[in-house]
Amino acid sequence: MNKQSLRVLVTGAGSGIGAGIALELAAQGCELIVTDLSAEAAAAKAEAINAGGGTATSAGLDVSSDEAVAAFCRQFADPIDVLVNNAGIQHVARLEDFPMEKWDQLVQIMLVGVARLTRALLPGMRERGFGRIVNIGSIHSLVASPYKSAYVAAKHGLIGFSKVIALETADTDITINTVCPTYVKTPLVEKQIADQARVHGISEDQVIETIMLKPMPKGVFISMEELGGICAFLTSPAARNITGQAIVVDGGWTVQ
């Protein structure tokens, strides 16, 4: 399928990684559906894409709600070729201090929500004989850090989920992969820096140096251009036999 004809849905695209990926794919000629829990944030990003010469529409979408996903699918009935499951939140606390409703919320958004939206779009992909699903995981899909039990559990779950769906879709030209980056400078990470400083009792500069970048031999944050380029590659014909994989973008963290 020609990349210029791809219709791409990105969740959590009102800001951060999702916004960066949406901008990159729009620049490559894809038609974007920009979604976010905040309909206003999604609309602003779609407007920016259109102003830059791309093509985008937007919608508010709560991936943790069956009703919201069903309503979205009724609204956007035209085929969606590529699904980028990016929506996510973070909460940093010891398990003893971690509110269970917050724990459940993280898993609902970053794991159950991925399954919910993938399940809704898979029949259409099967009918057309083509689909690309890209889950935005994390270095925490592979390793752990203290005080992030819900986030790490959800991101680890994406790896197993992707492997199963890769097998279930092996009979057609559908792929599913999980991109696992280390830290990207986004509003979510900026908040994590402050939270980690509070929990560990150190300065924010120390958090960046000793917690975030020290495990990475390359010692730099991952860029939006890198993530957007990887997602673009995974939608290309060259990647049609890459499925069920964890694409690790970690500056050498996990090779040590």
- Residue identified by tokens 């400083």 is 197
CA separation for the pair 131, 121 (Å, rounded): 9
Nearest by Cα to 87 from 164, 162, 22? 22
Q: Vertex 57, ends 55 and 58: CA angle to 5°?
A: 145
Q: What are the φ/ψ torsions at residue 46 (nearest 5 degrees)?
A: -65, -40
Q: Which two tokens stand for residue 240?
A: 């049609």
Looking at residue 99, the DSSP 8-state letter turns out to be -
CA separation for the pair 108, 194 (Å, rounded): 24
Catalytic residue among 72, 130, 147, 151: 151
The CB density around residue 136, as the number of other CB atoms within 10 Å, is: 28
Strand 246-249 and strand 173-181: pairing? parallel
CA separation for the pair 14, 111 (Å, rounded): 19
Q: What are the φ/ψ torsions at residue 226 (nearest 5 degrees)?
A: -65, -50
Known catalytic residue: 147? no
At 215 the three-state DSSP class reads: coil
At 91 the three-state DSSP class reads: coil
Region for 201 from its dihedrals, namely left if φ exceeds 0, alpha if ψ lies in -120 to 50, beta otherwise: left
Active site residues: 151
